[in-house]
Structure 1
Amino acid sequence: MNGQAKNSITRRGALSHVAAPGAILAAPALASAAPVAIQTRKRKTYVLVHGTWHGGWVWRQVAERLQADGHRVLTPTATGCGERAHLISPTTNLSTHVQDICAVIEAEDAEEVILIGHSFGGLTITGVADRLGERIAHIVFYDAFIPTRARPAWVMPEADGSWPKWWLDRQAHFIDGYKMIFFDHYPIKMLVPEEDAANVALLKRKLTWHPAGQWTEPVSFAQGGWEDRPRTYIHTTLQTFAPSSPAMWGPGKEAGWRWIDVPTTRNGMLTHPDVVAACFASLG
């Protein structure tokens, strides 16, 4: 969509309810011979891609709401994360995660996909769009990093090819040199408010390590990545600690993007599932 149309989604825009699949509306009295009316609406297909340290589990509440509204929702977990944390290896990288998501889309025969990525899942969905562009109807970055040809990875090498010092300093703390741990580098308020006891406990229980190669491997733009796709950036407005900067969302302010301000924290799928589901439901 051209321009930078700006929208604000609130709880008042929460999902409407539809009749169960196949439900028949009551016919008027004395009209038994008339054709019955069946309520229908366009069924959308969503593929929701988690960010660093998370897994498909993080989308459960949003997926349930979209499914209740009649949509199809896939929430794959990338290799080395979530319930697949045991599969991590030194070679697990961005290409692995792109293949994970592409494999799910292809195995599920998903078409006209609304592909949504959170945080550094923006790298992954860009790679998926580059490979399966014909299946992607809309690509959406939910408080996510938008890679570009100039910056195709979050961690970029210096001019001499070496890694920047900040990255080498951080890498010294990685388990086995490649397994990143959230709590080694960030406070929980990076994701949810500290006073949100239930979600803090959930994240402390659920967050896993994450392969460093997903941050350092450049994403492919061989087929244009997100460039030729209808695209939206969803910006969270309730994040008070280290809110996303232009380094994350910069291209989302350019022509060709739809921009949506949504009143949630960074992990709004946990803190504001109604709002996030309503926002996703509004996407074409």
Structure 2
Amino acid sequence: MQQYHFVLVHGACHGAWSWYKLKHRLESAGHQVTALDLAASGTDVRSMHDVCTFHEYSEPLLELLASLGQGERAILVGHSLGGVNLALAADRFPEKISAAVFLAAFMPDTAHRPSYVLEEYCARAPKGAWLDTQFAPVGKPDKPLTTMFFGPDFLSSKLYHLSPPEDLELGKILTRPGSLFLEDLSTSSNFTRKGYGSTTRVYVVCRQDLGIPLEFQRWMIENGGADHVLEVDGADHMAMLSKPQELCDCLLEIGANHVRA
């Protein structure tokens, strides 16, 4: 059996802990799994006050890819905001990525600034959609940054509504302030066709997602040009918790179709 290396990249305010059900399943199937904490996330000791740019936030992922040996390739799986981390990583290291998998994730394109899909998401969100999420400016005048911290109502109503109650409680305990990094991404250069644009991109749709609604997922697929699309039915935004086995099966299928022996 061919072994794959899955690199799991969490979404905003979350950490490597959010993959605990999926990591176990992939490893039990005989594959290598790396679940990362991005900067100021999970068990990383920094806070968002210490992170000025999206590149700094992504450094743990970039460092991991840089450390892979010649010829080593990984399947990157990005959840939610983690899709933008995937795009940045693919732009830097396209030769080290077998496939970039966007799990109910923001999927940038190469025609607009990296912030484009995030700005569209915010613009299309109905009034009050963020519920009890807290936003706060923490950046410096020359490097503005706005943090966000999901409140319990937002977690239970928009992200974890089909997940087991124990996982919702875990989320309430372990989430930390994060950021969409809109200020930084809006002034960053477009991702390139030669880098990110050359990477195989697979989108995994979560049909019952209320955090990134189905219609917006489909809009990003059309806008960004996903190479392949799979769907997980009965999954909320946290598919790795609400439908871990179905998601595991999706990723193994992606490995079988996109990883060269």
Whether the aligned pair in 1 keeps the contact of 2:163 and 2:236 (CA below 8 Å) is no
Runs of at least 4 residues of structure 1 off by over 6 A? none
Partner SS, residue 241 of structure 2: helix
What residue in structure 2 maps to residue 228 of structure 1? 198
**TM-fit CA distance, 1:194:** 6.9
Structure 1 residues 276 and 155 mapped into 2: Cα distance closer, same or farther (>3 Å)?
closer
What residue in structure 2 maps to residue 139 of structure 1? 100
The range that moved more, 80-89 or 273-282, is 80-89
For residues 56-95 of structure 1, the aligned pairs below 5 Å read 56-84=16-44, 86-89=46-49, 91-95=51-55
Backbone CA RMSD of aligned residues: 3.1
What is the total number of aligned residue pairs between the two structures? 235
What residue in structure 1 maps to residue 59 of structure 2? 99
**TM-fit CA distance, 1:227:** 1.6
Provide, for residues 136-155 of structure 1, a one-character-per-residue CA deviation record: whole Å limited to 9, x for no partner.
11111000011123242155
Check if 1:244 corresponds to 2:206. no
Of 39, 43, 46, which residue of structure 1 is paired with 2:6?
46
What residue in structure 2 maps to residue 120 of structure 1? 81
Task: Give unpaired runs (5+ residues) of structure 2.
Answer: 140-145, 256-261
TM-score normalised to structure 1 length: 0.72
Counterpart amino acid of 1:278? D
Of 194, 202, 206, which residue of structure 1 is paired with 2:170?
202
Q: Percent identity?
A: 22
Q: Which has the higher contact order (CA 8 A, sep 6+)?
A: 1
Check if 1:183 corresponds to 2:151. yes
**TM-fit CA distance, 1:224:** 3.8
**TM-fit CA distance, 1:91:** 3.9
Structure 1 residues 91 and 130 mapped into 2: Cα distance closer, same or farther (>3 Å)?
same
Identify the structure with the greater helix proportion: 2
**TM-fit CA distance, 1:124:** 0.5
Structure 1 residues 204 and 65 mapped into 2: Cα distance closer, same or farther (>3 Å)?
same
Whether the aligned pair in 1 keeps the contact of 2:83 and 2:105 (CA below 8 Å) is yes
Structure 1 residues 267 and 197 mapped into 2: Cα distance closer, same or farther (>3 Å)?
same
Structure 1 residues 197 and 88 mapped into 2: Cα distance closer, same or farther (>3 Å)?
same
**TM-fit CA distance, 1:223:** 5.5
User: Aligned partners of 2:189, 2:226: CA distance in 1, in Å?
Assistant: 21
Structure 1 residues 65 and 150 mapped into 2: Cα distance closer, same or farther (>3 Å)?
same
Of 228, 234, 251, which residue of structure 2 is paired with 1:280?
251
- The structure that has the greater radius of gyration is 1
**TM-fit CA distance, 1:233:** 0.6
What residue in structure 2 maps to residue 211 of structure 1? 179
The range that moved more, 262-271 or 44-53, is 262-271
Structure 1 residues 269 and 172 mapped into 2: Cα distance closer, same or farther (>3 Å)?
closer
User: Aligned partners of 2:134, 2:29: CA distance in 1, in Å?
Assistant: 47
